[in-house]
Amino acid sequence: MVASVPADPPGGEDVARRVETRWAIVMVGIVALLVAMVIFTGLHWATMPPSRVETIDPTTLHVAGEFVESNLGSAAEADGSVTVRIVGQQYSFTPQCIVVPAKTPVTFRVTSADVIHGMIITGTNINSMVSPGFISTFKTTFDKPGDHLMPCHEFCGTGHEGMWANVKVVEPDAFAKLVGPARRASCDL
Ligand code: CUA
């Protein structure tokens, strides 16, 4: 004997269609949101070089403003952090040696006076392009004292392989002793 098939509840097809439509709208909405995020972040990042940057006129670097020679190197800030300003040029970094304290927030601000350079601090994840016209800014905290090399890693001309600086990370007390009345510190070589 054939078992009798239970009848669909009244309106079951309508309910299923409504639920499916609702889920379809939700899914399309999620996909549209993700695509919008991809487009926004893509365009946003495409408008500037890597790392957070500000622009600066490379032709007047040495004359006035933040990157005049007397303002380069490590500066102790009122909040206890340290700001390091560096200029890259064919074929050196100024200053040639950078001293920073360990266990202290350090902000690097770097720009180029001529062509595109790069900088990487060995043993850390600090790695940035250094482009004329832009200020590469990044923040870090060194865990422990140590000496690091900071080579240029972007081919910038015949002297490229000779372009590097030293980064000395010292204990905070030792750094405090190096800080002079102008709230700056330089390598005590
Ligand atoms: Cu500067 Cu390579």
Each residue's pLDDT tens digit, 174-189: 999 888 888 888 887 5
The reported pLDDT for the residue numbered 65 is 87
For ligand 1, the distance from its centroid to the CA atom of residue 33, given in whole angstroms, is: 41
| 117 touches ligand 1 (CB under 6 Å) | yes
d(CA 187, CA 189): 6
The reported pLDDT for the residue numbered 6 is 66
| 87 touches ligand 1 (CB under 6 Å) | no
Burial 12-40 (b: 16+ CB within 10 A, else e): eeeeeeeeeeeeeeeeeeeeeeeeeeeee
The reported pLDDT for the residue numbered 49 is 53
The reported pLDDT for the residue numbered 7 is 64
| 56 touches ligand 1 (CB under 6 Å) | no
Q: Average pLDDT by consecutive 10-residue portion of the chain (189 residues)? A: 62 90 96 93 66 78 87 91 94 94 94 93 89 89 94 94 94 90 81
| 151 touches ligand 1 (CB under 6 Å) | no
For ligand 1, the distance from its centroid to the CA atom of residue 45, given in whole angstroms, is: 24
**DSSP string covering the chain, please?**
-PPPPPPPPTTHHHHHHHHHHHHHHHHHHHHHHHHHHHHHHHHHHHTS-SSEEEE--GGGTTTSSTTSGGG-EEEE-TTS-EEEEEEEETTEEESSEEEEETTSEEEEEEEESSS-EEEE-TTSS-EEEE-BTEEEEEEEE-SS-EEEEEE--S--STTGGG-EEEEEEE-HHHHHHH--TTSEE----
| 156 touches ligand 1 (CB under 6 Å) | yes
Q: Whose CA is nearest to atom 1 of ligand 1?
A: 117
Atom of ligand 1 nearest to the CA of 117: 1
The reported pLDDT for the residue numbered 53 is 63
| 154 touches ligand 1 (CB under 6 Å) | yes
Q: Which phi and psi (to 5°) does residue 76 adopt?
A: -80, 125
| 85 touches ligand 1 (CB under 6 Å) | no
The reported pLDDT for the residue numbered 51 is 55
| 86 touches ligand 1 (CB under 6 Å) | no
